[in-house]
Each structure stands twice: as C-alpha cells, then as structure tokens.
Structure 1
C-alpha cells in the first residue's frame, strides 16, 4: 500500500524536461514582454507628422486645433474676406399680412342657423371664387316675431282680397267712373301682392353666404346646424399670391432713407418692395408696409418676418454671411479665422445687419484673411 501511494504521487508531480547535459549558464535572461501596458503619453507614442490623426482640442491661447479629417466631418468652409464700402442697414420685426382687397371675411348678417351649401362646408385650403356661395344662413325668429309676421301676412291677404273686389266693381262700371281711378286700384293691388310675397320670403327664406374675393379658405369656425349671432365670423378667405409684410419703425425718418428691403421668414429669403408707411403712430411706432414680390413664396398670415432695410450712406467694412457669426462660451460675438491648415483663431467682432442673411463687420478683420462661413457654430463647441 505504501509503494502504491508513492507511485501515484510520482505520477502527479510535474515532469522536468532536460536537454541532456547541456549547460545554459552562458545564455542571457530574456526580457519580460509587458501585456496591454498603456503608453505614458499618446502624443509621444504617435509617429512624427501624425498630428492630423489626433482629436480636436482647444489650445491655451483660445485657438482651436482641428485636424483635416475633422474639418471634413464638420463641413467647415472658409472664404477670403475683402474690405469695401458697405451701406448701412436697419432690422425690423414684421409679420405677414394681407394686402387691402386681397382677403375677406364671411360673417353672419343676422342671427340664424348655418347650413352647408352643398354636401358640406368648404375645407381649409379649398379654392373659392368671388361670389361663390359657401353656406346658407337660415334666419331664426322667436315665437312672438313669427306671430307678428303671420299676422302681417293675414292683414296683407285681407287687403289684397278687398283690392281685387274693388277692381272688379270698378271694371263693371267702366265708362261711368274715371279711368285713373281704375288704374290706381290696379297699382295698389300690385303693391299689396309684392309686400305679401316679400314678407313670405323673409319669414323662412335662407340667405346666401358668398365669398367676397378670390382665394383659399383659411379659417372655418362653424359646424352644421350651429346657431350664430349677427356679425359672427364664419369663414376667412386669403389670396396667397397677394401678401404683404408689415413692420413697425420707431424712426420717423426711416421711410425716406430706405433704398431696398429684404425679408427672412422661416429660413427663406424674401424680396420685398416698399409699399408705403402710415402717418398714424401705432404703439409709438410708424407702421411700414412691404409688398412680397415672390408670389409663390410659402407664407401664412401672421408669420413673423425679419425685415432688413438698406439705407443711404456707406462705410468701410467686410461683408459676411450671417452663418459666420457665432458666440463663444462667454457670450461674445466672434468669427473664426483660419490661421493655419489645422488651426482656427477666434476674433471678437461687432456685426451690423447688411441684408436678410448677411452682416457687415466694420473692424476686427483684415483683407485676405480666411473666415469660416460654414461650421462656425460647431467649431465653437470644441473644448
């Protein structure tokens, strides 16, 4: 039993492999190979000239280091600036309105019940023509008013019957009575019949509600069978091809200085034409009206519009797209100048409006410098 135990322990012991009587004392010990050991500095481990493979970073002086491949991802575009004489401009906050005569409202002329003119009421956006009936208004009357009208009808019916009998008697006495008396009786009978017909038609006859102008239905404030009061607004019609922009001007001399006008609504540039200015202050401002020259522009009444007016007088400056101007972390207005292939420097500027989508920088830039016009907002987010 002891011998069996000894043999089992010998079998479990690790086997040593020898190479005969070879002497390994003259060999140098091999260096250990580290596994997954991070480099002390990624920049030191990168090969020379591989800076463009690093990430974007904000440098100590406030400039940015942006590799070329990151610039392509951010769609960074630059343009060289040129200095020249630029006109002054003024920005106004306006809104889209309808031109006089290009829009209309359909209102109830008296209290009544509104019923559709066809299968149903016109839908929003439906085109209508001037004079087209869009609904009917059935007048409503109280029991007392209806009783009075029925009584008037009965009274007129009795007067008509008496007039007919009188004419019949006069015609039997024709030749012995003056002809003018017979003619007067006939005229009186015709007047009584017309009054009777008019009263009967006014009792229950519906009134047509027609469109006052050509355009599209822009507001529907009615349901079938609804009882409305007099002057209630039922439908509103707008001609989308004849719209205008109204903006308040706080400078009373501004209308006489305007050379041209542009608008920006929903990211779309609008060509505007000055249509005039009133002489009645509204909220301490002078209302100015501009005609929209692009009839196909997708606009809606009440939509806000940023109006830029170019006025007389020029000054030196640099014209830039509005997308080139952004703000830094401190809230200052800056533009990014492309100093080196992978370096951008911020410049504090004070832009002035030049057009609907352009600004004028009077100082802070030099002619020939390349300014970022696309991707400036993304560069400002680099930390």
Structure 2
C-alpha cells in the first residue's frame, strides 16, 4: 500500500484498496475436498469390564525403560530442540549404516511424508494439479495430505485380499504423476509387499517419479522374501523410505519419525522441513530406544505371537481375516462394520470401523485379545458377512 493513498491526517480506515473485498475470509479451495481424519476413539466403560483401546494401532507394552528414563532426564524444556534432530540422525546413520545426510527427521512418518509432498507435488506449470498414486483402502491420512499439498490423488483399489494391485498402480501412472506411495504392511488391511514385488515395481516406475515406501509397521513383518527397503533406496535415487518410532518403539505420543533417501531427494526435503520439528524429549527417547533394539525386538515378538494367536482363532471360527503383518487385524465386514464396532463397544473394546469396508482391530493386552475372540464367537451372523 503506497503512502499517497491517504493524506497525512487521514485515518487508515478511510483508505480504499484497489481490489474487490470479500465479505468473509475464505480458505484455499483444496480444503473443501479434504476428508476428515477420524482418530481411534477411546473405549466406552462397561460395568465389570476393563476397557481396552484397540482402535489406534498403539503398542500396549509401551516404550522400553531406557526411553522412559531419557524422557524423565530432559531438563532443557526452556531451550529449543536441535534444529534438524542431529543426535537422532547420527544414531540412525550408525544403526542403519547410511549417511546422516540421507536422513530427514519429522513428526512421525506422516510428518516425514508431508515434507516429501511439500517438496515434490502441487500444481504444474500449466496450473493443473500433480498426481499422487496410492492403493486404497490404505492409510486414512493419505488423501488429506495429498489434497492439502494441492495435488490430485489417484486411488487404486486393493485386491479382494487387501493387497496392493501393483500392475494397476503402474497403469495409473501418467505424465502428471509425481509421487507413488506404497504402504507395507498396508494399514488397515494388513498384507505386506515382498521384496521381489517392490523391486520389480520400482524398476519400471519412471525415474522422475518419487516412490515412497511407507514402512510404519516394518518391525512386525515376518515370512519369506521380506522387503529390504534400504537395498532399494541405495539402488534407486527416486526411492524414499518412511519409518516411525510410534509403533514398535511405543513412542506414539512423542511424534518422531524420519525419511531415508539419497541426497538427490533429501536436499529438497531439508528445504521444506520446519526447523525444531522433533522435540528434545522425542529425540532423547528415540535415541535411547534405538540403543535398546534387543528389548524393542522382544516386545515386538510378544505382539507378533499375540497377533498370530488371535488370527488363528478367528480363522478357526470361520472368520475371513487377510494376511496380517502389522500389529493389527482386518475384518472385511463391508456395511456391517458399524454393527461390529457397536458390539465391541458394549464389551468395552474400542475398534476402528471404516464404514462400508471393514474393521481394523489393534493387537492389545492378552485379556483384550481374549475378549475379542469371545466377541467374534458370539457374532456368527457377522462372521458370515465377512
């Protein structure tokens, strides 16, 4: 606004700007296209029953003692954190045997994904939105962060058994595609991609398309031909790997994760990454947990044993339960998902219903898992629906 718009004694209120003025403040048009994120709800108390939250894929065993001690020892709450989580990146570099420059910290793996989208998608030079290809149903936050970045999401339906349809995803790539996302194990349906599947896929994706491998649950994967995402990152400059301390490490409340990619990508991610994103408390806990991998691994094995036990019981009772490689199970109940969630709520179990698709149930404490098995045995009509 130039100074000649008003006289020396004229109040600012008298100034007239040379542009039309709307009656209200309006947000970006992209916000009107955002679905709401539905976080897992806490359980509803029921008389005589201990309530259990099985709706958010949290680790019921919590963090290892060393991480809890590291949190308690932080006495610098009045100081800013390390700008780029240097201590955590150094610890990860040693643990993974990668350069620290290939690591970018974020607020959970979702924060790290947001950095990738901020750096590589938006609108093209012609004003049209870029495209991001991913499987669906998959992580509920994907359409939110993609559309917030100003891009168009291209959802490729998963197969009947909840797996990524990789040939169809390749077919969905166009000249407008900037990012392809693979969620493995897929949340909420459960199956994991094999190394051969992903290696063959990445080999034919155009080099100018970023392939994001979201491995939030990678510690829980078992079976043959497990994905070695680090080998693919080392071979392909367009591959970025996402990991988090929220799940296996039990640090969900602290919001700390990271991306791993060659510097061809990370130099752009550092440009958009907000400084001080990872708190001092979160960084200290993550470093301590990383140094306690044996204890973390033991807790993971306990949850895997529970996961396999519960799935086997449900399969024996006639339920359809896809391959489960995370710390959760998927019940493909379709339109009956809400009925199951209500029945679980009566039993003081909070589960995550996806209307029209199914129900995701996190693996919790043994008592919670036993109650889930009993609940399913008492719902034969829903078992048939699955």
**Same fold? TM cut 0.5:** no
Whose radius of gyration is greater, 1 or 2?
1
Higher strand content, 1 or 2: 1
Q: TM-score range by the shorter chain?
A: under 0.3
